[in-house]
Amino acid sequence: MDNAMQDSAMLTPRAFGEALAHATFRQSAADFIVDESLIFTPDGSGEHVYLHVRKTNTNTQWLADELARYTKIKRRDISYAGLKDRHAVTSQWFSLLLHKDKEPDWNEFRLEGVEILEATRHRTKLRPGMAKRNHFVITLYHVQCSEQALQQRLEQVELLGVPNYYGEQRFGHDASNLEQAKLLFEGKINIKSRNKKGLYLSSARSYLFNKVLAERVRRGIWATPITGDCMMLDGTNSYFSIDDPDEEILSRVTEFDIHPSGPLWGKGELPAQHAARQLENEILQDEDVFKSGLCGVNMTMDRRSLRMKPRSLAYELLSPTTIRLSFDLTAGQYATTFLHELFILDAIDKPTAIVS
């Protein structure tokens, strides 16, 4: 791995200055709780069983394999809205294509670290993107930080949001996923596994996005639209381009109705115009391997919001050096990215999956 590339992948400058303090992160699974909400409510009928599951120290994909084994159906007939971190207590939904006469008694299902909260049915398969939000409850220890300083930082977050970086787990240990993407694009390796290939492609896209966002953070324009920006509607994948930002645009940004966006690279022209396009091209001018590689595998140019807004944000002091934070994030956003704006995280366990 090229050291400069690895450093760039991991470099996510903070928007509000230095971290408040170090914080011990993930002493146990119960210190990182995630509850997933879907964009709809299962209607109770249909050919797909919907399982609402609470799991502790359990990998999402591994659990899907175990559900396939228990129900004796094909693994491809089991799906979920997004991966959840292993080193945590998480609740999420799974869907299983399973005829009613073959559905087991879920009260008899036994698997260490897994509890079925609800079993219902729905007419369509659960797919990525069907999660609406995730609610987090996170406990941090050994925090040498005054409550006043914490309150001030959280007020800044409430006012502006935080940079919407992809978390470091996206890149793998020591940016190994990014290295595999580079080797793939250079024709030095062949990846047969669709899951692995998708992981490496996502890593490359995330790297380019983070690089653009990091530079806009350095320039102080990550939460402020510039001429030609693509503005993303909050909570959606829809965006539109602007000329010079007028009062209406600035007001909608302040209200978190829209956000400046950055590129998710692929084939096609950059939708950003004028100064925004020039800036994105300038930042990524030395990234031809990744840009051409993503175009070569028919990834389509898309956008991602440059900022995120933790909602229902609250904190509780459990002791002078122990803090419990609770907040909601839109699906696809990273809790660790938000925490990065507050603290330097000293993790007991490294995250192994995307929280989305």
Active site residues: 85
Kind and range of the H or E run holding 89: strand 89-97
CA distances to 35, 53, 114, 265 from 81, rounded to whole Å, are: 12, 13, 18, 23
Which DSSP string corresponds to 165-191? PPPGGGG-GGGHHHHHHHHHHTTS---
Which DSSP string corresponds to 229-296? PEEEETTSS-EEE-SS--HHHHHHHHTTSEEEEEEE--BS--S--HHHHHHHHHHTTT-HHHHHHHHH
Beta strands in 6-67 (DSSP E): 21-25, 32-38, 48-56
Which DSSP string corresponds to 98-131? --GGG---GGG--BTTEEEEEEEEESS---TT-E
Pairwise CA distance, residues 354 & 343, whole Å: 20
Which DSSP string corresponds to 183-243? HHHTTS-----HHHHHHHHHHHHHHHHHHHHHHHHHHT-SSS--TTPEEEETTSS-EEE-S
Max CA distance (Å), the chain: 62
At 318, list the tokens.
Answer: 């459990």
At 93, list the tokens.
Answer: 């939904």
At 188, list the tokens.
Answer: 């030095």
Residues in a beta bridge with 239? 232
- Distance of alpha carbon 200 from the chain centroid: 15
Taking each helix axis from N to C end, the angle separating 176-185 and 194-219, rounded to the nearest 10 degrees, works out to: 110
